[in-house]
Amino acid sequence: MSDGALAGIKVVDFGQVVSAPFCAKLFSDYGADVIKVELPEGDAARHMGPFPKDEPHVEKSGLFFVNNTNKRGVTCDVRTEAGKALFLRLLQWADVLIENNLPQQMKDWGLDYQSMAAVNDQLVVISITPFGQTGPYSAWNGYDLNAYHLSGASSRYCGRPGETPLEHGTFAADYFGAVSAATWGMAATYGRKNVGGGQQVDVSTAECIAAAFVGGQNIGGYAQDGKFDKRTGVGMPLGAPATIMPCKDGHVWMLALEPGQWSGLKDVMGNPEWAEMELFDDMFMRAQNADVIYPFIEEWTLQHGKMEIMEKCQAAGCPITAVFTVAEAAEHPHLSAREYFVDMEHPALGKLKNIGAPFKLPASPGGPTTAAPLLGQHNQEVYGSVLGLSETEITQLQSDGAI
């Protein structure tokens, strides 16, 4: 991808599962040269699936496949002296290292930031962990949901009022943290001249969620008078209609708060007599009488399909959207028209559909073009052409268990 927006940037991906691999994928899918380094047993995602026919196979994990496109893959056992030396040689080549290991684990391997900077003072190290590199929780084991719930987001968003908070969607904190890490990692990379070299970008996925999901709407209010929002279940408590409604073939998300939106919805529903009642005059009164208005609306939605409702309401200036299943989204003509999905070939999985570029750059289009690497697929190529090792040296590293 020599014509990509990030062409010329050299990246080592030393991460597992989601946060670091997806961050590195954002670099690789837009033209950076990314080498994924795995321990000999492979990225843990290779063992997590989903797998075709639910049959586990290290080369057939959907989770690994989708997060590792456009990368070259090598194995390197940094737990050995020869493997660690090999890894440090790769870092001399790289502009960026992306990793999501516990800080203590990196120290135990002799790969703390100071040790890596000693071999390449221009290296930008993007470290993504649930709780960050410092603080009392930095050494704790944690995963995506640990980070999400530490942020206060579940108290704010997930579940019904007064009931137990619910889990959020899988890997929300990891994916959001990965996008944040890629953004500021690129800033650090392009800003090396301004600061005199590389630096470590310390990304806590919990703090990313706290800042974006919770902070913007709550920190100011809490600082001023000690008040903050809590979960409200489905819908909005201060305005109506603003909720998910059942229909003939699924559900629609309905938002008709402003006068024009409410007027458009009434028109689509045929201007029923009940909609002209005084207690439905504005969104606040409608919210106060939600137990009355929602059954009326539901009686109408259940007579129509979600696509019909969405298209008619959108035409009437009312932002109502069909709630699509994953299967429906995968076949949706709008996403297809934007080339959101691409067909790819994989040696073990065969031909399959993958997610395309999430950000559109018309002058330098990105997105996956080569499949995720097999375990150790590019050992000969990388260690030979990038590091200049001979076939004899590579064979010896294999014999020693370093790769």
List the chain pLDDT tens, one digit each, 403 residues: 447 899 999 999 999 999 999 999 999 999 999 999 999 999 999 999 899 999 999 999 999 999 999 999 999 999 999 999 999 999 999 999 999 999 999 999 999 999 999 999 999 999 999 999 999 999 999 999 899 888 888 888 888 888 888 888 789 999 999 999 999 999 999 999 999 999 999 999 999 998 887 766 677 777 788 887 787 777 777 889 999 999 999 999 999 999 999 999 999 999 999 999 988 989 999 999 999 999 999 999 999 999 999 999 999 999 999 999 999 998 999 999 998 899 999 999 999 999 998 888 888 889 999 999 999 999 999 999 999 999 999 999 999 999 9
Backbone angles phi and psi of 48, in degrees to 5: -105, -20
Phi/psi region, residue 305 (left: phi>0; alpha: psi -120 to 50; beta: rest), is beta
Q: Structural domain of residue 287, as residue ranges?
A: 242-327
Other beta carbons less than 10 A from residue 143's beta carbon: 16
Does 148 fall in a domain?
yes
* Total domains, the chain: 2
How many Å apart are CA 355 and CA 336, to the nearest integer? Answer: 11
Task: Spell out the residues 6+ positions from residue 4 whose beta carbon is closer than 8 angstroms to its own.
Answer: 29, 30, 31, 32, 364, 366
Does 301 fall in a domain?
yes
- What DSSP character marks residue 16? -
What DSSP assignment string belongs to 74-128?
Answer: EE--TTSHHHHHHHHHHHHH-SEEEE---HHHHHHTT-SHHHHHHH-TT-EEEEE
Question: Same domain, yes or no, for 277 and 392?
Answer: no
How many Å apart are CA 369 and CA 371, to the nearest integer? Answer: 7
Report whether 87 contacts 76 (CB < 8 A).
Answer: yes
Question: Which pLDDT score is estimated for 1?
Answer: 42
Question: Same domain, yes or no, for 146 and 23?
Answer: yes
Domain of residue 141, CATH code: 3.40.50.10540
Question: Same domain, yes or no, for 298 and 348?
Answer: no
Per DSSP, the chain holds a count of helices (H) and strands (E) of 19, 11
Partner residues linked to 248 by β-bridges: none
Does 112 fall in a domain?
yes
Last residue of a domain, one of 298, 327, 356: 327
Does 72 fall in a domain?
yes
**DSSP E strand boundaries for 180-332:** 200-204, 242-247, 250-255, 321-322
**If DSSP codes are grouped into helix, strand and coil, which group holds residue 299?**
helix
Question: Same domain, yes or no, for 389 and 299?
Answer: no
Question: Same domain, yes or no, for 103 and 199?
Answer: yes
How many Å apart are CA 293 and CA 245, to the nearest integer? Answer: 12
Does 221 fall in a domain?
no
Question: Same domain, yes or no, for 73 and 129?
Answer: yes
Domain of residue 319, CATH code: 3.30.1540.10
Question: Same domain, yes or no, for 166 and 32?
Answer: yes
Last residue of a domain, one of 327, 350, 384: 327
Last residue of a domain, one of 295, 327, 359: 327
Question: Which pLDDT score is estimated for 114?
Answer: 97
Report whether 246 contacts 304 (CB < 8 A).
Answer: no
